[in-house]
Amino acid sequence: MTIVYFAGLGSMGLGMALSCLRAGHQVYGYDPTPEQVASLVAAGGHALDPTSPTAQIAVSVVLNADQTRAALFGPEGLAARLAPGGVLISCATVAPAFAREMEAEARAMGLHYLDAPISGGSVKAAAGKLSIMASGSADAFAAAQPALDAMAATVFALGDQAGAGSAMKAVNQLLAGVHIAAMAEAMTFGMTQGITPDSFLRVISQCAGTSWMLENRAPHIVAGDYTPHSQVNIWPKDLGIVLEIARDAGFPAPITAAALGQYLAAADMGLGREDDAAVAKVYARAAGLSLPGEA
């Protein structure tokens, strides 16, 4: 049995923590939302507090670089509470340079660091079937293995130092964010031609124009259900990171920039906490269309 800490028990982190519980690990978690901690405790986990035993693994599933730094190395950070030789598994989408900086801080404390962004959504997180894009030393992978086995169906080993995992996640997020926006644009364009959202989904999901994001997010629009599995607010952050990396590389990314504009418009409309499929509402309102569930 391994003691595992979790910082962040949101839609992804809670599922990952529960997957570690099912694997027989002793899990202690923190989240600013008490209900999320209560869900972990109800499943057999524990609230992380100053009396919690020392852990071998700490998993950070927070929103961004600032939260990652605070969760790992802040005044109450997890790094100071790990056993010597323990490993920090960092899952937020961050710039590669930031991941390398965190690895250096961990090394200075005698700890390992695994740059380990995640993909798969809340359903796969709850099932322990995520894809993890990981980079770090062989010792970091070995120390993290008990948690990786519990949380992931696939772990891509992308290099022996931090940064490569975050670079691959940026590529993934470019595609994922663009695909959701493109799906929303195509569906609402279809509506202007008399194609209903359910007909769009039934046909295009079986044609060359489909994508994983189309098949996963279009049903939310058809059902008129924007319960957040991944919020609109995620995309200004993630696509902003992609564009920051692209600028540093001298690389133009006009399609990414266009998609980012649609998510920013959705957030400005007050849709930031809705499921990211709600970006379709930007197109619908501009065209005077009513989506399923709307009057």
Domain chopping of the chain, boundaries: 3-161, 166-287
Q: What pLDDT sits at residue 53?
A: 97
CA-based nearest residue to 91, from 57, 126, 134, 121: 134
Which pTM was predicted? Answer: 0.94
What's the CATH class of domain 166-287? Answer: mainly alpha
| Segment 240-266, tens digit of pLDDT | 999 999 999 999 999 999 999 999 999
Percent of the chain with pLDDT over 70: 100
The CATH architecture that domain 3-161 belongs to is 3-Layer(aba) Sandwich (3.40)
Whether residue 94 has pLDDT greater than 80:
yes
Query: Cβ of 81: how many Cβ atoms within 10 Å?
Result: 17
d(CA 202, CA 207): 9
Which of 124, 129, 169, 237 is catalytic? The answer is 169
CA distance 129 to 19: 9
Q: How confident is the model at residue 68 (pLDDT cuts 50, 70, 90)?
A: very high
Residue-wise pLDDT for 11-51, tens only, equals 899 999 999 999 999 999 999 999 999 999 999 999 999 99
Active site residue 281: no
* Inter-residue contact 238 to 93 (CB < 8 Å): yes
Q: Are 4 and 147 in contact (CB under 8 A)?
A: yes
Judge whether residue 287 has pLDDT over 80: yes
According to DSSP, the β-strands at 55-60 and 3-7 are: parallel
Q: What integer pLDDT is reported at residue 217 of this predicted model?
A: 98
Confidence of residue 213 (pLDDT cuts 50, 70, 90): very high
- Round to whole Å and give the CA distance between 176 and 170: 10
Residues 16, 130 contacting (CB under 8 angstroms): yes
User: What pLDDT is attached to residue 1?
Assistant: 82
Q: How confident is the model at residue 80 (pLDDT cuts 50, 70, 90)?
A: very high
* CA distances, 120 to each of 16, 157, 173 (Å): 11, 17, 11
Mean pLDDT of all residues in the chain? 97
pLDDT, position 11: 87
Measured distance CA(232)–CA(228) in Å, rounded: 8
Instruction: Using the predicted structure, report yes or no on whether residue 295 has a pLDDT greater than 80.
Output: no
Phi then psi dihedrals of residue 235, to 5 deg: -80, -35
Taking residues 282-292, report their average pLDDT. 98
Percent of the chain surpassing pLDDT 90? 98
